[in-house]
Each structure stands twice: as structure tokens, then as C-alpha cells.
Amino acid sequence: MLFIDTDPGVDDALAILMAHAHGSVAGLGIAAGNVGLARTTANALKLLELIDAPTPVFPGAPQPLVRPADDAAFVHGADGFGDTGYLPACRRAQSEHAALALLRLSHEHAGALTVVALAPLTNLALALSLDPTLPDRVRRLVIMGGAVTGQGNTSVAAEFNIGFDPEAAHIVCSRWGAFDLVDWELCLRHALPFERVEQWLAQGDARAAFYAAISRKMRVFSRAQRRSGLVVADALAMAVALQPDLVIEAQVRPLAIELDGALTRGATLVDWAQRSGRPPVARIVGAVDQHGFEHCVAAALGVAAP
Ligand code: BDR
Ligand code: CA
């Protein structure tokens, strides 16, 4: 059973489709991040309506814990979904806060819940602050975040989900205990080849058509950046959450979040040589079975026999 904390977001959308195609989803916690909370919530509702999934949507924190941060509208569009002008969903979000919903669901599914964090960690930090025993009831936490070799995407050193709310990331990474980390550089190494994505978008069902529309600007942006393919960070994290055996290589290391650096605020500092004496809590995924990952994505877009 999954609880997904997310800020949809084009790659979040793909991850949410994968979760509903291949797993059971207890709820979506919504964070501000890629764009503001009202938009990320509306996007989640639209996507769930598209696939006719009854999954409840719980809006959470409208801003980072301490300092304001810039969104990622320049990549995801001003509405977070590629500015397609879609008709809003008819359904409504729940009134329960995402942090409270996560705590409740962790009791209802004690020992069986996998939390997949695809957004700034604000909601998780709030939940953990309210109830430090939360990790005891969660089977697994998979975080998409961090730039473990210092090649950030929101600043030189920081990856977006961590850089948007470093204090929240600090709370989660220092208090949760063990978690899996799908970092930005891993996502760059596991980009989806552009031509294959175009094939899937042409061959898939209504999910592919919707994803084709919302990802159009991002695909143009990615080609202009001369990337090796379409980087779908949250989809990779979701594949790791859904199919742990896709992980080919991982290293468990201590990890800390830089909060104060003039140039490095939001950096994920990995103690690769294990000099700090801190507990090794982050299982940093180093390689994933690319074929299996692509299969998982294509099937979630409705591609027959991918
Ligand atoms: C992460 O930041 C967001 O823009 C994406 O949705 C993903 O969660 C990648 O750095
Ligand atoms: Ca995201």
C-alpha cells in the first residue's frame, strides 16, 4: 500500500499513473513545490479523474517551513501541468491536512505502508514532528531528492525537492532512520530516450494522450538542454518503490543537509568515506535496471506489450 507525497508536476504525474497501474494507493499528500499548493492540488485531482481512481487527495503545507523558495514553473509550466488549459476536475480534495492523513493512514496500514516522497519534504517533516514514532509504522520510505555528487538542478549544489525546503529535508533525513534515496544524478543517468517516449505517447491510451499534452513543453525544454533523454525523476523513484528488485546497485551512507551555506544551502552532503561517525541511514540507489524501468513506465501509459 502506497502513500504518495507529491507536487504535480509533470514527472509526478507519470509517477502517479505508474502507482495506480502497478500498485494500491491509500492517498496522495500534496505539497507546494513545482508550483503553488492550489495548482498542485488541482493537478492531482485532474489526473485522478482522468483515470477514474477514487484515491483521496490531502492538501498539505502551502510553503516551506522556514524560508520562502522559488518554484519550478519554468520547467513544469505556470500551472505545473504544461499550461494546456485543461478543464478543472469536478471532484474535491479532502479537508484533512496531508500530515495528519499520513499519520492516520500509518495506523490504519501499520507495517504495510510505503511512503513515496516526490516533493519537498514539508508534509513529511510536519508529520514526523507531530509524531516521531511514524517511521516505526512505515514499511519503507523512498525519497526522490538530493544531488549526491553536488550536481544540483535548482542551484549549483542543490536538487529541487531538497533545495525548496532544506529545513524539512533536515528533519526527515536526520530523524526518520533508514530510507531509500533516488537522487538527481541517478535520474540523469536513467533518462528515457526521446524517440522511445514519442513512440509510447503515440501508441498508448488516454493516459498517454494526457501525458503527451502536459509534457510537451518539458520535452522541448529537455531537447533544448541537449539532455540524453527525458528525465523523469519522480517516475524513477516510483519504479524503485513499486519494484525494489529493479535496483542493481546501492550504497548505504550517512547523509546531512546543508542549511546555512552561502553557495550550498540545500545541498545533500553524503559521507561517502564514512568519516563522520554518523549512522548510515540513506540507501543511495546507484543503478537501476533500465529495461525494467522503461517497461513499468510504458505499461502505465497503456502501451500494449511494451
Ligand atoms: C524533482 O523536482 C521537481 O521539479 C520534480 O517534480 C522532481 O520531484 C526533481 O529535482
Ligand atoms: Ca515532484
**Residues 6+ away with beta carbon under 8 Å from 288:** 186, 190, 236, 239, 240, 246, 247, 248
Q: How far apart are the first and last CA of the chain?
A: 25
Phi/psi of residue 48, nearest 5 degrees: -65, -35
> What pLDDT does 212 receive?
98
Tell me whether strands 57-59 and 113-117 are parallel, antiparallel or unpaired.
unpaired
Ligand 1 binding pocket includes 12 (Cβ within 6 Å): yes
Q: How far is the CA of 275 from the centre of ligand 2 (A)?
A: 32
Q: Which ligand is nearest to the CA of 10?
A: 1
Mean pLDDT, range 40-64, rounded to an integer? 98
Ligand 1 binding pocket includes 81 (Cβ within 6 Å): no
Mean residue pLDDT of the chain comes to 97
Q: How far is the CA of 34 from the centre of ligand 2 (A)?
A: 7
Q: How far is the CA of 117 from the centre of ligand 2 (A)?
A: 8
> What pLDDT does 304 receive?
85
Residue nearest to atom 10 of ligand 1 (CA): 160
Mean pLDDT, range 32-44, rounded to an integer? 98
Q: How far is the CA of 108 from the centre of ligand 1 (A)?
A: 29
**pLDDT (tens digit, 9 = 90+) per residue, 82-113?**
999 999 999 999 999 999 999 999 999 999 99
Ligand 1 binding pocket includes 122 (Cβ within 6 Å): no
117 closest CA partner among 277, 4, 284:
4
Mean pLDDT, range 108-123, rounded to an integer? 98
Ligand 1 binding pocket includes 144 (Cβ within 6 Å): yes
Mean pLDDT, range 123-148, rounded to an integer? 98
Q: Which atom of ligand 1 is nearest to the CA of 231?
A: 9
Ligand 1 binding pocket includes 185 (Cβ within 6 Å): no
Whether 167 and 64 have beta carbons less than 8 Å apart is answered as: yes
pTM comes to 0.98
Ligand 1 binding pocket includes 159 (Cβ within 6 Å): yes
DSSP H or E stretch at residue 29: strand 25-30
**pLDDT (tens digit, 9 = 90+) per residue, 152-165?**
999 999 999 999 99
- Domain 2-300 in CATH: superfamily? Ribonucleoside hydrolase-like (3.90.245.10)
pLDDT band, very low/low/confident/very high, at 247 (cuts 50, 70, 90): very high
Name the residue of 6, 30, 34 whose CB sits within 8 Å of the most ligand 1 atoms, as the mutation to test its pocket: 34
Name the residue of 16, 28, 123, 144 whose CB sits within 8 Å of the most ligand 1 atoms, as the mutation to test its pocket: 144
DSSP symbols for 246-261: GEEEEEEE-EEE-SS-
Whether 104 and 130 have beta carbons less than 8 Å apart is answered as: no
Q: How far is CA 205 from CA 29, 109, 150, in A?
A: 26, 32, 38
**Residues 6+ away with beta carbon under 8 Å from 292:** 239, 243, 246
Q: Which atom of ligand 1 is nearest to the CA of 144?
A: 8
The one-letter amino acid code at 276 reads S
Ranges of each domain in the chain:
2-300
> What pLDDT does 306 receive?
67
Of all residues in the chain, what percent carry a pLDDT higher than 90? 96
